[in-house]
Structures are given as structure tokens and as C-alpha cells.
Amino acid sequence: MVPNDAIIKKFMGIVRGRRCAQHWRYGSPRIHAELVAQGVPCCENTVARIMREAGIAVKTKRKFRQTTDSNHNHPVAENLLDRAFEVEEPNTSWVADVTYIPTREGWLYLAVVVDLFSRMVVG
């Protein structure tokens, strides 16, 4: 079934209205269901094709990925500082941290070692 201009106009009105109202999350299945509910005869593949030809893409929300697994049998380092971050002389306590920086080319990993006395980066 080839959609006529009236169907396409009604479709585009619904798509543009829903995209703004739903923060760009309505895809072809939801738009198809809404068109059918309003009595517009069409199939989901036609809706998907019209959206693709019109350059309408849906932003999908990514699922949260857990990156820490604390349930393991590997040895865990002792807590030598026990939150005593005030030290009396340099080079007696160093702390480290790792952070992840997203870039267009992928993730960068930044590791830093800081002397607690001077708060200077030592490595």
C-alpha cells in the first residue's frame, strides 16, 4: 500500500508533535500505534520508511552499565590511612585515583598519585 499525501501530512504532524513532547523518544512502533488509533491505515514498515526518508532519528536512552564487581575472591588492599588525611611530613602518605574521560575516539584513563602533605601530583 503506497501512502497518499494526506496520510503523510497527518503522519508528519503527529511525528513532529510527539518528538517535541516526548523529548525525541517516539519511534516507528509508537507512531504507528498512534496513527492506527486515529484511524489512519498504515503499516509499521511504512512509518519507519517515511521517518528514515524524512531524516527523523530517535535518540535511544542507553542502559546503565555497571563497571565495578566487588563480589570476587581477589585480595583487597588494606586501608592503611583509615581516613587520616592530615600528615605531618612529606612523602609519608601518597594516594592515587583513576578516572575515565570520554572522547570521540574512545575512553581515556587518567591515573594520578598525590602526596597528602603537599597536595602535589607526584606521579
In angstroms, the CA 48 to CA 25 distance is 14
Residue 101: what pLDDT? 93
pTM exceeds 0.85, yes or no: no
Nearest to 31 by CA among 11, 45, 54: 11
Mean pLDDT split into 10-residue runs, the chain, 123 residues = 67 65 69 82 84 78 80 88 87 92 93 93 90
The domain spans of the chain are 5-53, 85-123
Residue 15: what pLDDT? 63
